[in-house]
Amino acid sequence: MNIFDAKIVNTQYGLEMYLDRVKNIEIKEIHSPSDNDTCYEIELGVEYFLLRDGNYYDSAKNYFRIRMNEDFNSITLRETDTESLFAVKTEHERDSTKLLVGEWLLKTNAFNQVINELIQQKKKENVQNEGDTRKVLGTIRFLERLLEIKTEEILSAKVEREH
């Protein structure tokens, strides 16, 4: 890793420094369409360092969700109930965080490696019936679509709070 593999977001609480490292990306949950919810969704955790008052570093991990409809053509970013990547930020800071996700995070080697490893795991799953096969194949298509998201799609996506 070199310094160009980092991104910094200036917030009212200090500078958030994000590094392109696999250990800084966590897939917390993946949701496939069901009778109650027809969307795909992934919850991602991103670890970063917070530089406070110019000299104090603190490590934190915050989360957000990427939600897509079954056709993968509608993207929504969702805040998590706790430890949200978008929480307690001004509107400008939220826009900067959205830019971080669209221009940097989804393009990092770490994100691509984590998603590709998950795709490989899904391909190796032992499915027992046709319904499970469809669910796994849909999840694989969703994960592959995550690797293709364009910056513009993230920048135009709505940010919602979880219910």
Sign of CA dihedral 72, 78, 83, 87: positive
String of DSSP letters for the chain:
--GGGEEEEEETTEEEEEE--GGGEEEEEEE---SS---EEEEEEEEEEEEETTTEEEEEEEEEEEEE-TTS--EEEEE-SSSBSSTT--HHHHHHHHHIIIIIGGGSHHHHHHHHHHHHHHHT----SHHHHHHHHHHHHHHHHHTT--HHHHHHSEEEE--
Model confidence at 115, in pLDDT bands (50, 70, 90)? very high
d(CA 119, CA 68): 17
pLDDT in tens, 55-112: 778 889 999 999 999 999 999 999 999 999 998 888 999 899 999 999 999 999 999 9
The rounded percent of the chain whose pLDDT value lies above 90 is 65
Q: Which residue has the higher pLDDT, 150 or 35?
A: 150
String of DSSP letters for 3-20:
GGGEEEEEETTEEEEEE-
* Number of compact structural domains in the chain: 1
Model confidence at 113, in pLDDT bands (50, 70, 90)? very high
Whole domain around residue 40: which residue ranges? 3-161
Q: Say if residue 2's pLDDT is above 60.
A: no
State the pTM of this model: 0.90
The rounded percent of the chain whose pLDDT value lies above 70 is 96
Model confidence at 1, in pLDDT bands (50, 70, 90)? very low
